[in-house]
A and B are shown apart, each in its own frame.
Chain A
Amino acid sequence: MQKSLHLDPNKCTGCLQCEMACAWEKYETFTIAKSRIKVFTFHHEGRFVPYTCTQCDEAWCLIACPVDAIKLDPVTGAKIVLEPTCVGCKVCTIACPFGTINYVAQTGKVQKCDLCDGDPACAKACPTGAITYVDADWTGLGKMRAWAGKTDTTAATA
């Protein structure tokens, strides 16, 4: 059974430990701008929403990459950026309709969540259980993806 990150906004307090853990895991820095998971704050709703790549089946980024710099990890299902191969053309960043693959100016490469080889640092760092790494069936990810693929939806909070 493949596992997925389960992100539960209702448990998130916006502490950003996950962002630091991610930045540390990948770059040995706490600079959260380097994090591949982001907590979005909706101040007026009092909501904190952790968000990162869902490792979607469509793999828009992987398919759009012109130089084969994004690979599928057969064990975790993660789409992984091969930094030495990436040329930094940014095509994947506009191809991903989820906005979860980003260019990093300092490295000249793109970055995205790679599930840390199946032991995600963000989930380990989350103090409230808002981020967990669980069997894919439990995540509601399918529902999330299906929704994201639909059109003409009206914002729930609109």
Chain B
Amino acid sequence: MAWTRNVLRVNLSAGTCTPEPLNMTWAQDYLGQRGLATKYFVSEVDPKVDPFAPENELIFVTGPLTGTMASTGGRYSVVTKGPLTGAIACSNSGGYFGAELKFAGWDMLIFEGASPKPVYLLLIDGKAELVDAGSLWGKTVWETEEEIKKVHQDPQIRVAAIGRAGEIGVLYAGIVNDLHRAAGRSGVGAVMGSKNLKAVAVRGTRTDSYPLANPKAFLAATEAAKKVLAANGVTGQGLPTYGTQVLMNVINELGALPTRNHRDIQFEGAGDISGEAMHRKRPTDGKANLVTNGACFGCTIACGRISRMDPGHFTVKDKPQYQGASGGVEYEAAWALGAANGVNDLEALTYANFLCNEHGFDPISFGATVGAAMELYDLGILTKDEVGFELPFGSTEAMVKLAELTARGEGFGKEIGMGSRRLCAKYGRPDLSMTVKGQEFPAYDGRGLQGMGLAYATSNRGACHLRGYMVSPEVLGIPVKMDPQATEGKAAMLKAFQDLTAVVDSAGICLFTTFAWGLADIQPQIQAACEGDWSPERLLLVGERIWNMEREFNLAAGLTKKDDCLPPRLMKEEAKTGPQKGAVSKLDVMLPEYYEVRGWTAEGVPTAGTRARLGV
């Protein structure tokens, strides 16, 4: 059950589905999921390709631990060239879809070309067919999933779909599976839309088992690792109780919560939109926003938020479809929809988050872009006439309205759908775009957390918290406590995090396990599942190889050292309040050191020695 060793190549232009054996040599070098799909991608696609051209590929991929009893073993990734960034895009999702893909017998689906008309891919056990999606085009993610399950009369079919946002090319459109789990970032959904691919529907009932290298050892290793998760304060208590939202108050108090397009570094309304607030009974209906926590496939942490809105809230009053429970705000979404634009109405954030899931777009990039638009409005660069309504910081109504417009590609929503970099450039203030490589920051300020600043600047897919989570050492003390303002040792620590993260993202498990798991917990699970020698040293080498492979693709795509940067605001404007008051990013100190520990030239290019060592 490690690898199924089956790849499905779908040529959407020709309408063909062709199975092929997995390249096991590559599997030994890149493990699976992120690493393996990226290897296929960079081997088959011209780095200069227009992300929306049929020549771009879109790859859905599982890892060797996907669909196993390893805790959190349900992840899949989508790899393509991202339209938001022009860089390699790899977006990771949980839910149940990835495991089902494995059960249906596939490690990987490679989509080539573009379909002349809307289709969805139906995978039932070993069978694959492209089905006309004419009647689904224009439908929401939620409607699409329901309709596919209904037509095929099987509620157990798992669906990953794009909504209207992906169809119309919102540059940060995501792919949503199981109604509220998303391969959310970098616009992978827009690429899917450009290929006229509405959804992938999958059901696997086959008994054929793909052997684990050592089943007994695997069960023992996964069992032991689950105990580590249960015993850990973050994965055993914090995340199940508060989800990632456990961070809202923590990061705010630390003075690293970007607020109002990073003008501020603390948000006075943080408490109103925090994990604690989600537990509080609303005065209006006496119920809490949070209904329960929910798990993704195989996950023994269960950090997922399942929320139900106040049915009397102005956003959903006459809309019963939003009054049931669904995926609530995670920390990043709560930050982007809330703090990033100064909105402190938890119910409104929940509604906007529902819209992101329903229509398939990334709440981080959306919320951050709204924050940028609000600043443009605040400065008088954007006017009410252009927007169609007032757009001051803190306007719940405006944020919600923009979510609705962006989902449908109407009015000023079209501008918001381009993302912050293009929006700010269009209005002559590129400096106000809080992005790296065109992708919006998530919920940590690079001034408050120096290591996170470096992580953002060097992330291969643009600003991202999931490529090297320096919050762990800088805030949580995992694996060691580091001073948020220090620069010393950050480059080496970040490299270690980036390489380990690449391994985790290639294995089929969730990055959140690394709050509790070190390589010593992960390695025995991979070793027992996968044939071959997977020593800790080799795994880290695989991680480093993946990182460098992504870097090489980006360089070949035309990105340079200049793209490893942070916006001038983070470099020059001092943090105004809180423990990090006065701080600016010290990226210029850390970056050269980072290149050095990576074995790259001063221009950020892997040296011949590094290339040879890694076999890239």
Residue B446 is within 8 A (CB to CB) of chain A in the complex = no
Residues of B contacting A48 in the complex (Cβ-Cβ under 8 angstroms) = 294
**A43 touching B325 by the CB < 8 A rule?**
yes
**A30 touching B206 by the CB < 8 A rule?**
no
Residue B492 is within 8 A (CB to CB) of chain A in the complex = no
Residue of B69, B205, B292, B324 touching A34 (CB-CB under 8 A):
B205
- Provide the B239-273 mask, 1 if CB < 8 A to any CB of A, else 0: 01000000000000000000000000000000000
The answer to whether A16 and B179 touch (CB under 8 A), given A30-B67, A105-B205, is no
Q: Interface size bucket, B side?
A: 35 or more
B126 CB to nearest A CB, Å: 12
Cα–Cα distance between A17 and B70 once the two chains are bound (Å): 9
**A31 touching B292 by the CB < 8 A rule?**
no
Cα–Cα distance between A44 and B309 once the two chains are bound (Å): 11
The number of chain A residues with a CB under 8 A from chain B is: 28
Residues of A contacting B156 in the complex (Cβ-Cβ under 8 angstroms) = 33
Residues of B contacting A32 in the complex (Cβ-Cβ under 8 angstroms) = 99, 103
Residue B300 is within 8 A (CB to CB) of chain A in the complex = yes
Cα–Cα distance between A16 and B178 once the two chains are bound (Å): 14
The answer to whether A30 and B205 touch (CB under 8 A), given A14-B295, A15-B295, A20-B68, is no
Residue B1 is within 8 A (CB to CB) of chain A in the complex = yes
Residue of B204, B230, B292, B296 touching A46 (CB-CB under 8 A):
B292
Q: Interface segment, A21-29, A59-67, A134-142?
A: A21-29
Residue A107 is within 8 A (CB to CB) of chain B in the complex = yes
Cα–Cα distance between A31 and B457 once the two chains are bound (Å): 41
Residue B298 is within 8 A (CB to CB) of chain A in the complex = yes
- Provide the A45-79 mask, 1 if CB < 8 A to any CB of B, else 0: 11110000000000000000000000000000000
Residue B326 is within 8 A (CB to CB) of chain A in the complex = yes
Residue A125 is within 8 A (CB to CB) of chain B in the complex = yes
The answer to whether A28 and B215 touch (CB under 8 A), given A44-B325, A125-B69, A127-B226, is yes
Residues of B contacting A28 in the complex (Cβ-Cβ under 8 angstroms) = 209, 215
Cα–Cα distance between A68 and B508 once the two chains are bound (Å): 44
**B69 touching A20 by the CB < 8 A rule?**
yes
Residue of A30, A44, A127, A128 touching B326 (CB-CB under 8 A):
A44
Cα–Cα distance between A48 and B296 once the two chains are bound (Å): 12
Residue B17 is within 8 A (CB to CB) of chain A in the complex = no
Residue B485 is within 8 A (CB to CB) of chain A in the complex = no
Apart from A28-B209, A45-B325, A127-B302: 15 A-B pairs, beta carbons within 8 A: A13-B292, A13-B299, A14-B294, A15-B296, A15-B299, A15-B302, A17-B298, A20-B69, A20-B298, A27-B209, A29-B1, A30-B99, A31-B207, A34-B205, A46-B291
> Could you write out 16 A-B pairs with CB less than 8 Å apart?
A13-B294, A13-B304, A15-B302, A16-B298, A20-B68, A27-B209, A29-B208, A30-B1, A30-B209, A33-B156, A34-B205, A43-B326, A44-B324, A46-B325, A105-B205, A127-B71
